[in-house]
Chains A and B, each alone.
Chain A
């Protein structure tokens, strides 16, 4: 039998709100977001780092929440899909996904939108190839990626 492990305090900022939680040190950020904070916008498709559905931004950088342990996000600023819009005003990436058919079932969408947001923050005018490269780890089974590519291009244009 494995010895029991005590919960530990995790302090982090989620979507701009400071959080102090008592979590298992082996609970991934995915579990913390979905099960402790009930932020279910972050999806899971494999929990092994193979599909990208659970992508969140940690300090503005796309990371897979299914692989992150609490210690790795201590004090970090985490952005989930619920935190991307500015109040009722959607982010340009969200609007573009709606308008250009960047989503169908919507399940990969939170991760895809966040990865696209991070790309545009780092590179406001990406080429189509750069968009493909940046989103390469986010699998989608519905769209054939075409609507997503168009949407990110549109969002880049509208952001300029």
Chain B
């Protein structure tokens, strides 16, 4: 434990919990803020990447001579110039910034050009001649499971094109099924989709001598920093990565990318700044988005609907590279247990390589797919048993301060309360059913940061430094505001501790050269982890200021109140001067490391543990047309256990944005392919909800005051997306009497389900079966004993 429990009651807080404007709002409404592509350095060159036009091919030759000869071209690099492999996960470093042996998807970069302007760089890329020997592309999960005629996509892992397998069992699943009064199996498919940040990725590098600085629209400068040092062969101290103000990430800017590495290399070679901004189409190739996942789930329940055993299988279409894949795979099986008390649980997961843009983490990383499957499966189970679907869930809800069968530590848990509140607000239980109209309910849970770092180390996950001096108050944190409001959260926490306003705190963030580490804006970790680190640093500063004032006034420190810009009776600036005179330079530190023992000790236990879990419940009200299959969502009620809101305005914004993204995924978003080529690499063809497609959202916040979160706060960035998807599917079923077991639920699929029913077939659209997968022998893990399970 690095910070005290949330001690103060809401009434004692001055800025935490208020809905103040975000600290960066003024810069954003005036256009003053400079995003990565707005950076313009003297003498800057422009970089374009040449990308593969083959889904899968061996590179036979690359001739860059014509490109090099073009006026205005300053440098051309290929894979030979960047031969070191990298990857976000240490277990699958399978990427090259520029491929030189073979390409694995349409869009795989093979060369980079730096030129005096973008047009010249583009023309030079087109002048590079690459000789390819096409290989037979792998386009589906099923195909990836079969031994290829050509070589597998990667030379590691396997069999066939399998990337990663996992098989875990907690408790005696067979015994649970044997005991069950009812057992049900279902198969589901979740099509892949992408983040579609409004801002296209952009990176600018400036090398001076053998040192290089990169400004990039990245969510985790620390991991980019590590990859750059490795690939460029430079000491960490020679590389500085600055996260530029960020135009949207959603997980899509979490990997180190080719363009980031290429501009650094080109700048080191040319001695000039080099910028690369991706086109929208390139953003689709860069991807790292939601995995397509095929799922099979079997659950045994007793007569009352209590779950006795569950067996969940997943198969992920990973695309061409590893990315976060091993974690993504385990996430499809990890969090089923954080909402439902499952006494015996078996998970078998597989990720395969295919010749498509690599998948990775998108908002909810690996959990929206199984959440969709699980919640819809429970609806069907409830129908089998004639039990109300909400009641069936309630009978299985996890309890606060318990440990799950897969050893995840549950602390604060407002699952029951978010359920009550959304049901009450929506009138779900009193709805009058009528054809063409449906309401659906679902719940979910998400992590407040991953309990373990991506690469093994025992250092803190978040660190902050707080400086007070004649220049004011400055908080240094490695955290990166990607629009979620982390700057506002950190400023609010520091201000709360120091009796100031958030606007009084100057923030220096996301700069590996200036700020102490923060692992990044992923896994909903920043409020909890960087927030705790900031609170610790600020509390220590507060103590110094209070001591200085107490000594000056000759009173006890606990008689010195800190609020409203004053330390005791004197102004903050004056107190700071007293403290500086007394203690010298005023600089305090805060660190956060997740506690030990929040997860298990088996292989694969690294995915799932978190210091706390948020809880969400959704009710969706929609109309569905029984002829066209078109769906109109009328309203969504979303209840969220936030622990405590640090900034209520920002929290509500995250809920609304999560609901929006969940609706987009369930209704229309899809990253799909045809003959190895992306079907929709544009903002017109990749369908995202517009203003006219978005219903009203009613947000209901429940504060459970988590004992370890800063002031009790938990995450909100990812959780609220999750229940929306199954709630829509459930509501469509209520409206039309058909199940669409495949996301997105597009009108053509609904009509096919309706047609099936009209022909007397199963009233359903979805996958028919789950493939045979060579899962390894189960790793059997004894569940926590009763004493351990009750915290």
Contact = CB atoms under 8 A, between A and B. Distances in A.
Interface stretch (A4-12, A57-65, A68-76, A78-86): A78-86
A141 B657 CA distance: 7
Nearest to A31: B118
Interface string B623-664: 000000000000000000000000001101110111111000
Interface in A94-108: 94-95, 97-101, 103-108
A47 B247 contact: no
A139 B684 contact: no
B382 interface: no
Interface stretch (B26-34, B167-175, B185-193): B26-34
Contacts of A146: 652-653, 656, 660, 694, 696-697
Contact of A82 (B30, B652, B682): B30
Contacts of A84: 30
B279 to A, nearest CB: 7
Interface in A119-146: 131-133, 135-146
Contacts of A138: 691
B653 A110 contact: no
A140 B483 CA distance: 12
Q: Which of B30, B200, B659, B660: most chain A Cβ within 10 A?
A: B30
Interface stretch (B7-15, B17-25, B761-769): B17-25
B306 to A, nearest CB: 36
A139 B660 contact: no
Contact of B688 (A44, A131, A141, A149): A141
A103 B198 contact: no
B661 A107 contact: no
A64 to B, nearest CB: 12
Contact of B26 (A41, A98, A107): A98
A99 B21 contact: yes
Interface string B242-284: 0001111110000000000000000000000000000110000
Interface in B399-424: none
Contact of B30 (A41, A43, A47, A101): A41
A44 B691 CA distance: 19
B482 interface: yes
A50 interface: yes
Contact of A45 (B280, B483, B657): B280
B38 interface: yes
A13 interface: no
B248 A107 contact: yes
A81 B35 contact: no
Contacts of B690: 136-137, 139
B483 A104 contact: yes
A118 to B, nearest CB: 15
B483 A142 contact: yes
B179 interface: no
B199 A45 contact: yes
A94 B280 contact: no
Interface in B695-712: 696-697
Contact of B659 (A99, A137, A144): A144
B198 A98 contact: no
Contacts of A81: 29-31
Interface residues of A, number: 55
A53 B198 contact: yes
Given A51-B198, A105-B199, A132-B692, A139 B683 contact: yes
B29 A105 contact: no
A28 interface: no
B40 interface: yes
A43 B691 contact: no
A44 B202 CA distance: 12
B199 A43 contact: yes
A144 B684 contact: no
A134 to B, nearest CB: 9
Name A's interface SS. Answer: loop
A142 B696 CA distance: 15
Given A98-B26, A139-B690, A106 B697 contact: no
Nearest to B694: A145
A136 B691 contact: yes
A143 B656 contact: yes
B289 to A, nearest CB: 13
B517 interface: no
Nearest to B35: A107
Given A53-B198, A141-B661, A147-B653, A103 B683 contact: no
A103 B28 contact: yes
A21 interface: no
Q: Which of B29, B661, B682: most chain A Cβ within 10 A?
A: B29
Interface in B577-625: none
Nearest to B34: A40
Interface in A25-40: 34, 38-40
B359 interface: no
Q: Which of B24, B31, B249, B656: most chain A Cβ within 10 A?
A: B31
A101 B196 CA distance: 21
A148 B692 CA distance: 13
A110 B19 CA distance: 22
Interface string B460-494: 00000000000000000000001111000000000
A81 B657 CA distance: 24
Given A48-B682, A104-B483, A105-B247, A97 B29 contact: yes
B197 interface: yes
B679 to A, nearest CB: 15
Contact of B29 (A90, A140, A144): A90
Contact of B692 (A94, A133, A142, A147): A133
A40 B38 contact: yes
A98 B697 CA distance: 20
A113 B688 CA distance: 20
Contacts of A144: 656-661, 694, 697
B746 to A, nearest CB: 19
Contacts of B199: 43, 45, 105, 107
Contacts of B697: 144, 146
A44 B250 CA distance: 18
A53 B31 CA distance: 12
A44 B35 CA distance: 11
A110 B246 contact: no
Contacts of B247: 43, 105-107
Q: Which of B688, B691, B694: most chain A Cβ within 10 A?
A: B691
A138 to B, nearest CB: 7
Given A47-B279, A139-B690, A106 B24 contact: yes
B689 to A, nearest CB: 8
B38 A105 contact: no
Q: Which of A40, A42, A105, A145: most chain B Cβ within 10 A?
A: A105
5 contacts: A50-B684, A90-B29, A106-B483, A142-B483, A149-B691
Given A82-B32, A105-B197, A145-B656, 18 more contacts: A45-B683, A90-B30, A94-B30, A97-B25, A98-B25, A98-B26, A98-B29, A104-B484, A107-B197, A136-B690, A137-B690, A138-B691, A141-B196, A141-B198, A141-B660, A141-B661, A146-B652, A148-B691
10 A-B pairs with the lowest CB-CB distances in the bound complex, closest first:
A41-B31, A105-B483, A144-B660, A106-B28, A107-B247, A81-B31, A144-B656, A40-B38, A98-B25, A104-B483
Interface of A: 34, 38-48, 50-51, 53, 80-82, 84-85, 90, 94-95, 97-101, 103-110, 113, 131-133, 135-149
